[in-house]
Structures are given as C-alpha cells and as structure tokens.
C-alpha cells in the first residue's frame, strides 16, 4: 500500500516572516547599488540566509562604527538602544520587527510604566525576548524572564511585596509554559494582569499539528533547530506520536527505518521554513514505499 502523506495547512512561513523576506528582497532589487545588511539572521533558516547572501544581502553580527547603505532590523525586533546605534553609525534603518512582536514590546512597556512587576515568559537568550526586556527596562527595573518556576523563585520575595504583576509571553512559546508560570504567580501575587501574547499563527499551527499527530504513525517537523517555534512544535508532538525534527530532506535517510514502517505520515513546518524545502521533503518521502 502506498503511504498516506498529509501536510498541515498551517506549515511554513507565517505572515511576519514572509513580510520580512519579501521586503528585504524588494529593498535590494530597488537599491542595487546600495549595501543591504541585516543585523543578525533575518530568520532562523540557513537556506534562506544563503539565498539572501547570494542576492547581496549580508548578515552582520555587530554594528560597525561607520555603516553605509541600509541596515534591516529583523522580525525578532531590537532594543531602542540598538536601533539608535544603527542610525548613529550612518545606516538608513528599515525596521521589519514582526507586528505581533511589536505588540508584546508595547504591552511590556505599558505594564512597566504602570508600575507592574513585569514577567516575560520566554527564553532569556532568544533575540525576541532580549528586545522585549530591553524595551520594558527603559521604564522599570522590575523585569524578569522565565520559562520555569524555579527561575522565578529567586524573585519570589520581590514579587510578593510588589502590589501588581504583569505577564507577557514570547510569541512562539507553548501555552502550557505560560499556564504553568501563571498558576505559580497566582499563588504569590496580590494582583495579576496576564497578556497572552502568543501569536495567532503559533497557536493555530500547534493546535492543527496536535490533531494531525493523533491520526499519524509518524510526524515530521521541518525547520531549523535554532527556530523556537519549530523546536516547540517537535516537543509538543513527541508526547502524541513518533516525531522527528529535520532541517531539510537530506536528513530523511537518517530515519529510513522509521519512515518505511510508518503508513500514515504527517508533515508540519516551522514559521521560518520556506515552501520549497517542505516540497522537497514530500517528494523524497514519496520514494519511500
């Protein structure tokens, strides 16, 4: 019997990523004689970064003293200090922070301004979270980042003594992580304001993938290992059915035995995974019979 391969409807580029990639390409096409640089990887996908570099769009990791041309702020966002530094270096700045990420930044700022103890649910080393924290810290020192209750216990005394606690969440986080933190905070805080800032695209992608996993012998999650939303997808689905996380079709042979045994295969992909990579995975899977 031929294998049943089903692709999730919400797989691949989300609105914010699509907007960032298309805008950067357009910027270069409209300014062929200007240098176009992106501070940090535009999205967490090596194939896309290589494609952009081939078009003359460079990734820079540090802001030079004297910049020239256009410098793009990626979809994860940056702190106001970094954006100011880009301008002062002499670049023309193009801010491509995802609108959903901007909302989290603004919410965190409002909470900090209104004397809330701000808790950001997210990974402290993630660029999106670094930018959210930096924005909130302009207004208050009472800002912490956590994905685990243990991380918050160091601040328990401070949180208890503060009248109000405000919670925002990294756009690509798991709802279970948010719920766990909120449950703990509810037990120690006098007043709590929760802003569920997980983006709609992430929520829909996770919900649909769960349903797909329930009816699959194997689920293949396609996307960068550096992508938060992709790794979260793989973590969620591993609790439901056999799940493998690959970056592209070249890794499929590592799981030959698993694939050959599976009759119903579900495929989903992270928000920074391009369509052509997903298509290559499907094409290669069709050869496993």
The four Cα atoms 176, 178, 184, 189 give a dihedral, to 10 degrees, of: -160
Query: Contacts by 78-82 with C-beta closer than 8 Å and gap 24+?
Result: 78/39, 78/127, 78/131, 78/134, 79/130, 79/131, 79/134, 79/135, 80/134, 80/135, 80/138, 81/134, 82/39, 82/131, 82/134
Residue 154: exposure state from Cβ atoms within 10 A (0-12, 13-18, ≥19): exposed
Please state, in angstroms and rounded to a whole number, the distance separating the CA atoms of residues 225 and 246. 8
Q: Is 62 known to be catalytic?
A: no
Nearest to 218 by CA among 274, 271, 261: 261
Please state, in angstroms and rounded to a whole number, the distance separating the CA atoms of residues 288 and 146. 42
The catalytically annotated residue of 41, 81, 125, 128 is 128
Whether 145 contacts 192, CB under 8 Å? no
- Tell me the catalytic residues: 128
């Amino acid at each position: 019997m031929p294998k049943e391969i089903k692709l999730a409807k919400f797989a691949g580029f989300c609105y914010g990523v699509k907007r960032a990639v298309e805008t950067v390409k357009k910027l270069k096409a409209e300014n062929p004689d200007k240098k176009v640089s992106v501070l940090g990887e535009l999205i967490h996908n090596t194939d896309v970064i290589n494609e952009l570099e081939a078009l003359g769009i460079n990734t820079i990791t540090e802001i030079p003293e004297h910049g020239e041309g256009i410098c793009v702020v990626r979809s994860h966002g940056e702190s106001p200090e970094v954006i100011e530094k880009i301008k002062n270096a002499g670049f023309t700045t193009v801010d491509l922070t995802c609108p959903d990420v901007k909302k989290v930044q603004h919410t965190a700022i409002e909470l900090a301004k209104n004397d809330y103890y701000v808790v950001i649910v997210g990974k402290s080393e993630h660029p999106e979270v670094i930018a959210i924290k930096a924005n909130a810290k302009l207004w208050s020192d009472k800002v912490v980042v956590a994905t685990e209750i243990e991380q918050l216990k160091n601040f328990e005394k401070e949180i208890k003594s503060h009248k109000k606690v405000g919670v925002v969440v990294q756009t690509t986080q798991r709802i279970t992580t948010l719920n766990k933190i909120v449950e703990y905070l509810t037990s120690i805080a006098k007043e709590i304001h929760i802003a569920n800032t997980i983006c709609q695209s992430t929520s829909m992608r996770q919900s649909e993938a769960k349903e797909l996993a329930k009816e699959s012998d194997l689920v293949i999650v396609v996307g960068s290992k550096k992508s938060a939303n992709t790794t979260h997808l793989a973590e969620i689905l591993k609790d439901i059915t056999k799940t493998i996380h690959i970056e592209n079709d070249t890794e499929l042979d590592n799981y030959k035995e698993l694939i050959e045994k599976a009759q119903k295969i579900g495929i989903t992909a992270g928000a920074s995974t391009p369509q052509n990579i997903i298509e290559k995975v499907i094409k290669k899977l069709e050869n496993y019979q």
